[in-house]
Structure 1
Amino acid sequence: MSHMPAVQGADRLRLLGPVRYVSARGNVTRPGAPGPQTVLAALALRPGTLVTVDELIDGLYFDDPPASARRVVVTYIHRLRTHLGREARAEPGGGEAPSAIETMADGYVLQLPEDRVDALFFGRLTARARRYADAGDPAAGAAGLEEALALWQGPALAGLPGPFARDWRRALGEQLASALEYRLELLLVCGRHAEVVPDIVRALKTYPYRERLHGALMLALYRSGRAAEALSAYDRARRVLAEDLGIDTGPALRTLHAAILAGDHALLLAPAQGGVDAVPPPETAREDVSAGQEPAQLPPVPCDFTGRQEQMSALVSALTTGRPHSVAVITGMGGAGKTALALRAAHAVAGTYPDGQLYANLRAPDGAPAEPAEVLAGFLTGLGVPAERIPASLAERAALFRTMLSRRAVLVVLDNAATTAQVEPLLPGAARCAVLITGRALAAMPATVTLPLRGLGADNAVELIGKIAGIHRIQQEPDAVAALAAACGHLPLALRAAGARLAAR
């Protein structure tokens, strides 16, 4: 594969709004119809990484794809290459350049730096802003979030159809809401309570069910000498949640309401850092964190990952809706593809967790369950804690781990869990963190969603064999390959082994 930067100059892609290609000279163009735009977005959100044709097909069609789906993808890629090539040649001194979209194995790779894709750059800016705030500079944090929010020009991937666009719109929309919410809280920390009230009111029109926004409005009003209006704001929040969702306000909002009723003067003092409910982490923990340390421990997704569209949709939904303490569990027998599905989902939602992704295989090389204390040591190291500062006991490591994540949005992937007891010390306590767990028997594990995984569908099983043995084997012997897939129980592990044996013949 070529490693040349195939998109010339300062070209970049806008996904936070209508999809647009911006050339180095500032020329803004629409890269084709919605179909090619969706393919370009799928490649751009995973730059430098192989995206298979089957993944692109799955992202384009809600229902069973047409027989011509592969030809459609090839056509879209050709149109995109033509568009990007034409723009490159139009640059001053531009000539023929390597294609921005490279063919590799059974898919395509977009060679483009991450900071040229606004959706990925947004994640970087928000993570940096949170680091400023965590380091005790809320004004810099708020300014950084304002810079990040300025990248948005409408709903993400506006106008694009298909499951890929739907899922990423949801994930990116959650990132937008979280950044907007946190910026308003930081402005409160900076003492700008009077001027922030209109911004919070506008935000609540878009996000009427986010309790932290309601709390920010109550606090801003109270600090502005408008206690009666702050209490009325609580009443409105309680009414909206009850009438629209059938739920009561959460404990944090109820506690704030009680403090305002009591005229608590402590509310008039801006907290040292973070949002309205922020608790500063211990100084010892803060000293241990390397500036800018964002773990990115996810292993790659198998390049032959196939199917699982329904399960992917359920996992992405569970991990991107903004629900506090989200936990997703994938169960199933050995060889069912639990790890591959978990990694595929984790990579898909990684942008929702800008402070990093942690991964641990909870099964040791000899097959024995990994010790939670050792897993925590690895997590703490990944978070920047020097080896000499890692506590000795399991309880102390778990406490430090949760402290380290108390102000972060981190995705934790726990693969091959043996028991609930093994998992419990590894769960973060922060509401903005989420956990994705795989294991054979975790029925007792409390979870936002639990997915029992079985074999692939018959068509997907045959497709997986074809990816390994070659598509010609399916075309030459369709009945024999279908029978082989059935004999494997449609389990991905067995299908890969069968495909490898076929390829070796």
Structure 2
Amino acid sequence: MSHTASSTLSVQLLGTLRVWSHDEEILIGPPKQRALLALLAIRLGVVVRREQIVDALWGPEPPATAANGVHTYVAGLRRALDPVRAGRGSGEVLVTRSDGYELRLPVEAVDAALFVRQREEARRMAAAGRPEAAFERLGAALGLWHGEALAGVPGPFAAMERVRLREMRFAAVEEWIGGMIAAGGSEEAVVVLNEAIVQEPLREKLRYLLMLALSRCGRQAHALQAYSETRTYLDEELGIEPGVELRNLHARILAGTVEGSRPPRSPQRETVPAQAERRSTAPTAAAYLPSHLPSRANVFVGRSAELRKVREMLTRESPERGRATPILAIDGAPGVGKSALALELAHESLDRFPDGHLYADLGGTSDHPLSAFDVLAQLLRNLGIQRASLPTDLDGRVMLYRSLLHGKKMLVVLDNALGADQLRPLIPQGSACLIVTSRQPQRGLVVRYGAHRIGLKPLDRETATALLLALTGAEQGTDRRSAVSRLAELCGCLPLAIRITAGRLLGDPYASPERLAALYEDPLTRLELLAVEGDDDMSIRSVITVSYRHLSEETARLFRMLCRTGLEEVGPMSPVQLMGITPTAAASHLESLTDHGLLEQTGPEEYRLNDLVRIYGAGLAEVRPQAIPLHTPRKLAITQDPDGRRIGGRVS
């Protein structure tokens, strides 16, 4: 065997199929040729008959050209693996036999063959009373893996072989973790087991080892919780109970007779949240309960219809009724109170979700929204996963997140979402409930997941007045209701503007509703006053700007035009006359403005500009197309299209 052939080749099967020669990767060729190499490498040193190759590559119904195809792929492999072979000879790596072909390489050159050998060696070491050596050899064997075996290799043989190799891999993982626990590495084993169970949730041996490791760490509460989750999962997925070994271990944990177990740590030595380790006076100890909701608004007024709708939804789609994850999607204009409503609903519903409450601000209203990858890191950390144990890829984090929430009655609040791509990986499964807030309607959640959408509008004037009175104290407003009502109206009946205004009234001993209303009558002054210095989230101008920045250039131009006309109500033909565009284009622009919360749809073909939004838009860069006369607002208000529909709207 030449030095330039078999002694310098190495083949990777435990991951994407790759081949190296002299430490330089070489190309193997088309998919079927790669599949042939995988077959020969798996059967290393064994003659594979031609009919077996045909079955492996094409299945039970091969094409008439299959036999010729085998010859073609064999020739291609020889050129790739042994380019210096003499003439058209058989070569030293891929050898022709009477009825087939044999790949001749050392075991060390094919990772799958080396994995099998090292695992067998580890078993012999363990049987000979050398557990430390067995543990190290198993670790070396598992270190050969680089992902799913035969990734990307086509054909029925590769599909079956992937299943066989995966089974061998996780059997080795179980043996290796068993050695880790026996050597006193239970805490390290817990981390590895959590990741392994995400990939193989039905392997009871992994769950047995997790319960054992947790118990030996002194975390009996977590061990019991792991059993409960396993029982629920097996029942939901397969309709079966845990096996005898799991049930026996569960009984031993309850009885406190698990060998090698430590008692729960004292409070002075706790290294995880106290709730996770503390003994309970209940029959079983309480596990770590994540609770990360921000506080609700100190005063909440109105939204009774929305609250009633959600209560009905939670009752109708409770986990006990076997429904999928209930999803509530709240959308609306900037400052309309989406987050306040979401948190009010969340705090009101805490008792429905005894397993915990998660919250994340997705930053969709900022210049730098979070990626799903980063949000999952935050959520997993809140669920008790250590930073060092976080999966390094998105799919891994999604699987771990959904696995941890599986079967649990948890509430997840995702505030300020940007869109479907950001949200999709964050949707839990099973018994959890999800509340999402966003400026744009999340129609994808409605279509794909059956989400319940609530489109928030500004408060009516009476409710807005009641909110301002409640925030400032009823005794101040009883004899000044007219001024307070006018002040609420000047706030556009937006809850954010009303809360900022209440802060001004409470923070200035000389302020009064009458004086502040007089200042608000000037539009530019009003926008300047509706802000809390140093807090962009408490600034009407800032929150509207975020939506404006997301508009296309032409939609932004239309927005400025509409605001400068002074129109309060807008018809479907307004953009047509203002910009000279088609009705179809006009409808698209109006939909975009509505989706970004800059225009409120009040009917099938009726829209309204909130007063504060209109003031903001009118104060942007000058837009004076010559085709628009100075009296355009009045003309638009009375113009009709050929079908008699109103084009413009009422002039304020």
TM-score by length of 2: 0.38
TM-score by length of 1: 0.49
Structure number with larger C-alpha Rg:
2
